[in-house]
């Protein structure tokens, strides 16, 4: 029986079978820019301090075209909360984030995703760290399962071994898993596994979707994708950061402007990245090219804003509610073409077009 005839909304795999899925990420960067989250630790205390801001951003991403509402539990694990002295807030923060996301997902008919991420504890040579990481993931995945999530995203893993632990925990909870790796300057995991090999191992271990997220921008993630699609028989994910990385500076941590005395330590990351931000048109171009390469789970990570997500949706031929407000320069007072515009303003625009 299909989801349509059973009265049940289509799940992740059913939606992927029907077409690409868009997942908006980047909550911590966007909420930091808005003044509700601290750069550096990037712990989402905003979930408890200003839940209305989290709910609003979920709604804005859905309005822009996201098919998924991802609970803001990124960096809401035991190790991160310990570092900011908020150990006691671990469970309340996770449960509150899931409740906020669930409310928006239910009202919008979108998918609800739980989220776990790199622990900063994992050491491939230390078995005790593996146990600690597993326990941390079990806490968060358990709360996500209690909240009735449709699937769990495990992301930003530089160690594929840690990603495999996350996958095992998610699968034992009986939930679909989207597992994405974060790629640094070298196109390999920190263990030295090639990306196709790492994704193949994750797919063979039961991941429903595998791929890449964060760290690299569109220009330096795109060349890696075709090999991943060829390596696995599950849908591939691509969620770059919306920054203009390039071969000499392939990650957003490496971006810099020579001679800029104001950027902290001479680096743009994380709070002086503004000059490197991709336009919505660059995001649309990445979306089309990644989709042509066979990627089916698309999104953006740190730095994404709703207008980027709308551009991604429109590049896939969609018209989300936010498309009502997509640009129409034909009605611009100086640069337009609409016959109702004042001629003297249009003439002024033609003469001084670059400076009006």
Residue pLDDT, tens place only, 37-56: 999 999 999 999 999 999 99
Average pLDDT (146-155) is: 98
Secondary structure E strands in 9-167: 21-24, 68-70, 111-117, 151-157
* One domain, residues 134 and 237: yes
Which CATH number covers residue 272?
Answer: 3.20.20.330
* pLDDT digit string, tens, across residues 88-112: 999 999 999 999 999 999 999 999 9
* One domain, residues 239 and 340: no
* One domain, residues 257 and 285: yes
* One domain, residues 123 and 170: yes
Q: Which domain holds residue 206?
A: 11-325
* C-beta neighbour count of 35 within 10 angstroms: 10
pTM recorded for the entire structure? 0.94
* One domain, residues 60 and 74: yes
**End-to-end alpha-carbon separation of the chain, Å?**
60
* One domain, residues 243 and 310: yes
Query: Is 1 a domain residue?
Result: no
Closest among 14, 118, 27 to 66, alpha carbons compared = 27
Tell me if 314 sits within 8 A of 288, measured CB to CB.
no
What is the three-class DSSP state of 100?
helix
CA–CA distance, 346 with 75 (Å, rounded to integer): 51
Give me the pLDDT at residue 263, please.
77
Residue with tokens 């980027």: 308
Tell me if 148 sits within 8 A of 99, measured CB to CB.
no
* One domain, residues 175 and 314: yes
* pLDDT digit string, tens, across residues 266-290: 789 999 999 999 999 999 999 999 9
* C-beta neighbour count of 148 within 10 angstroms: 12
- DSSP category for residue 252: T
- DSSP category for residue 21: E
* One domain, residues 264 and 318: yes
Please count the structural domains in the chain: 2
């Amino acid at each position: 029986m299909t989801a349509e005839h059973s009265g049940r909304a289509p799940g992740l795999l059913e939606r992927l079978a029907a077409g690409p899925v868009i997942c908006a990420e980047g909550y911590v960067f966007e909420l930091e820019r808005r003044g509700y989250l601290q750069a550096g630790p990037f712990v989402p205390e905003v979930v408890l301090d200003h839940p209305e801001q989290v709910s609003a951003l979920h709604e804005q991403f859905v309005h822009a075209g996201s098919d998924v509402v991802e609970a803001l539990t990124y960096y809401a694990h035991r190790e991160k909360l310990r570092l900011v002295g908020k150990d006691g807030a671990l469970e309340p923060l996770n449960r509150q984030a899931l409740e906020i996301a669930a409310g928006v997902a239910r009202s919008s008919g979108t998918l609800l995703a739980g989220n776990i991420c790199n622990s900063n504890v994992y050491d491939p040579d230390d078995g005790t760290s593996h146990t600690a990481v597993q326990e941390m993931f079990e806490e968060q995945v358990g709360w996500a399962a209690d909240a009735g999530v449709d699937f769990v995203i495990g992301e930003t893993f530089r160690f594929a071994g840690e990603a495999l632990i996350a996958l095992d925990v998610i699968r034992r909870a009986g939930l679909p898993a989207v597992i994405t790796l974060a790629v640094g300057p070298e196109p390999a995991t920190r263990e030295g596994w090639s990306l196709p090999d790492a994704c193949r191992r994750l797919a063979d271990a039961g991941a429903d979707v595998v791929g890449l997220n964060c760290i690299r921008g569109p220009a330096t993630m795109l060349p890696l994708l075709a090999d991943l699609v060829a390596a696995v028989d599950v849908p591939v994910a691509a969620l770059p950061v919306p920054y203009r990385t390039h071969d000499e500076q392939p990650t957003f941590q490496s971006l810099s402007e020579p001679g800029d005395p104001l950027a902290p330590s001479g680096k743009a990351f994380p709070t002086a990245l503004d000059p490197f931000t991709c336009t919505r048109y660059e995001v649309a171009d990445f979306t089309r090219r990644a989709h042509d390469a066979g990627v089916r789970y698309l999104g953006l990570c740190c730095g994404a804003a709703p207008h980027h997500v709308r551009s991604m949706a429109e590049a896939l031929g969609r018209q989300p509610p936010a498309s009502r407000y997509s640009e129409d320069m034909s009605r611009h007072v100086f640069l337009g073409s609409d016959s109702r515009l004042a001629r003297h303003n249009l003439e002024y625009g033609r003469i001084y077009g670059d400076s009006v």
